[in-house]
Amino acid sequence: MPRRSKFIIAANRLPAHRVGDGRASRWVRSPGGLVSAMAPVLAKHTGCWIGWDGAVGRASHANVLDGLTLAPVGLTRGQVDAFYSGFCNGTLWPLYHDAIVTPQFHRAWWEYYRDVNARFAAAILRRAARRAMVWIHDYHLQLVPALLRQTRPDLRIGFFLHIPFPPEELFAWLPWRAAILRGLLGADLVAFQTEASSQNFSRAARRWTNGEGTDREVKIDSHTAHVRPIPISIDAATMESLAREPEVIEMARLIREQLGNRRMILGVDRMDYTKGIHDRLMAFEELLSERRLSVDDTVYVQIAVPSREESLGYREVRREVEERVGRINGQFSEPGSVAVHYFRRSLSHRELAAYYLAADVMLVTPLRDGMNLVAKEYVACRHDLGGVLVLSEFAGAAWELRRALLVNPRDIEAMKAVIIQALRMPTRERRMRMSILRVQVKRHDVFEWADVFLEELGA
């Protein structure tokens, strides 16, 4: 029987990965705000993190890394295909992002989703001490709260959805909508990125289950689930201090120099059809072909991390983006002045900070996004009050970052106009907007987010 914990986090992935082979392999902590935010809480409560280790087949043994117990859940090849690539990323992800790509509904995938959720619930139950607190993350594990409550009503159960919860009419497509809602309603606290997602959920819950109540409380079978918007954030102080390092400032200068000291427009995204990379490139292409911009003095840099290439729609988005980049460069680049620099790779946070510092205009224009941390990272890095953030109205971040230039990313004319506006913005206005954005991001960081969540959960 494993050691029991008072505080458990369950997420699809563990916050660490293995490097090296066989006996010589070891765990290394993955970078990221969520991990940093959770570390102090987990250390204080002798915590444990349950998640998939990314390997196919038998799970590795539990391990302690920097005082945190990591408890891997193993997934078979069939589970990775049908649960992860299938139901999570081929059904739920597109459905919850406004069906930008048509979601697929396969009964076999659903069976796998149920099985894997049951495996996670069993792993949590083996480790949960009496009256432990369990914090479950994201759309992969929506059935877990109710599975826990059925056998262990002593647990305090919290759930946070990192992606949007769709409007009722869209959610209604899901053949298993009632089961998912009942799963989530098993939690004491169900939290979302925005007020809209929070309302969408409580309305769907009242419509498709026997739950009753308000936008903030849904009562079902004598249990009450509290529903709240608790927007996630970043470790702003760490991000800012990276951007203040002399080497990073020098790296930013070098990046600009290598790009010919042209005005630099930047995009940083996971390669995902929700992020609007293609539409953004179209706007840039039209500005070049209408001669409102020229490669002599403007360059666009797109950094994209490869992502989910096994799932529906991902190879297509990559192909579209790469074709468009090729077309733009073929038509507009000049010797020594490439129009679009495209990097398909993951960068360290230090390198990202340098790119953020170098960019005159940051384009964060997803078609739909739960929050979007890139927007907040950009703001945290701009201690020089330079740079303009262009932000999609459909990112959760737009609810907080009101002083960004907000845009509808499907409106290509509006995108073009906002890019020009950003490039021409007078220094005074740019500094004023950036300082207001910075107050917001620094005041509401990921540590505050975790505190608010745990307080609402009654920790």
Binding mask 39-78 for ligand ADQ (x = CB under 6 A): ----------------------------------------
Query: What's the rounded Cα separation, in Å, for the pair 193 and 376?
Result: 14
From the list 79, 365, 372, 392, which residue makes contact with ligand ADQ (rule: CB under 6 A)? Answer: 372
Nearer to ligand ADQ by Cβ, of 369 and 400: the residue is 369
User: Any contact of residue 374 with ligand ADQ (CB under 6 A)?
Assistant: yes
* DSSP 3-state of 247: helix
- The structure tokens listed for 327 are 């077309």
From the list 124, 328, 354, 373, which residue makes contact with ligand ADQ (rule: CB under 6 A)? Answer: 373
User: Any contact of residue 398 with ligand ADQ (CB under 6 A)?
Assistant: no
User: Any contact of residue 303 with ligand ADQ (CB under 6 A)?
Assistant: yes
What residue ranges in 57-106 does DSSP mark as E strands?
Answer: 63-65, 68-75
Encoded amino acid at 97, one letter: H
What residue ranges in 149-209 does DSSP mark as E strands?
Answer: 156-160, 189-192
- The structure tokens listed for 252 are 């930013």
User: Any contact of residue 347 with ligand ADQ (CB under 6 A)?
Assistant: yes
User: Any contact of residue 29 with ligand ADQ (CB under 6 A)?
Assistant: no
Nearer to ligand ADQ by Cβ, of 293 and 357: the residue is 357
User: Any contact of residue 136 with ligand ADQ (CB under 6 A)?
Assistant: no
> Exposed, middle or buried: residue 113 (CB in 10 Å: 0-12, 13-18, 19+)?
buried
Instruction: Tell me the three-class secondary structure of 326-355, residue by residue.
Output: HHHHHHHCECCECCEEEEECCCCHHHHHHH
Binding to ligand ADQ (CB under 6 A) within 230-269 occurs at 232, 268-269
The distance of closest approach from Cβ of residue 130 to ligand ADQ in the complex, given in angstroms and rounded to an integer, is 30
User: Any contact of residue 371 with ligand ADQ (CB under 6 A)?
Assistant: yes
Nearer to ligand ADQ by Cβ, of 16 and 287: the residue is 16
CB neighbourhood size of 85 (10 A): 18
The distance of closest approach from Cβ of residue 246 to ligand ADQ in the complex, given in angstroms and rounded to an integer, is 22
The distance of closest approach from Cβ of residue 251 to ligand ADQ in the complex, given in angstroms and rounded to an integer, is 15
Nearer to ligand ADQ by Cβ, of 5 and 311: the residue is 311
Query: For residues 188 and 157, is the Cβ–Cβ distance under 8 A?
Result: yes
Binding to ligand ADQ (CB under 6 A) within 162-221 occurs at 162-163
Query: For residues 15 and 30, is the Cβ–Cβ distance under 8 A?
Result: yes
Query: What's the rounded Cα separation, in Å, for the pair 183 and 146?
Result: 5
Which residue numbers are catalytic?
A: 162, 369
Q: What is the DSSP letter of 334?
A: B
- In terms of DSSP H, where are the helices of 30-97? 33-44, 77-79, 93-96
Binding site for ligand ADQ (CB under 6 A): 162-163, 232, 268-270, 303, 305, 346-347, 352, 369-374, 377
